[in-house]
Amino acid sequence: KPDPDTRFESITVKADGSYLLGNAALSLAQLGDALARFEADEKPPVFRLRFDAKSTAQQYLSVMAELQKRHLSQISFDMKVVN
């Protein structure tokens, strides 16, 4: 059974190279700075990763690297299949 105290934060990667943390538009550097505030949390949130259909593998790897630098490893992927 899921822990009811689990917090979630969303990271959206857009095809134009921009990132959203929640609803805040950020550059990759700003995203890294914003993620740093979660590093010291006793129980960091689960990050829900969302990718625009036209985003690149490099953008994905960049987000994963920022999360890894800050030891943030609770990740889920939100997916929507489009036909």
Distance CA 54, CA 57 (A): 10
SS3 category, 19: strand
Distance CA 53, CA 14 (A): 8
pLDDT of residue 82: 57
pLDDT of residue 81: 57
Condensed to tens digits (0 to 9), the pLDDT of residues 27-78 reads 999 999 999 999 989 999 999 999 888 888 899 999 999 999 999 999 998 8
Helix (H) or strand (E) holding 30: helix 28-39
pLDDT of residue 83: 54
Whole-prediction pTM value?
Answer: 0.87
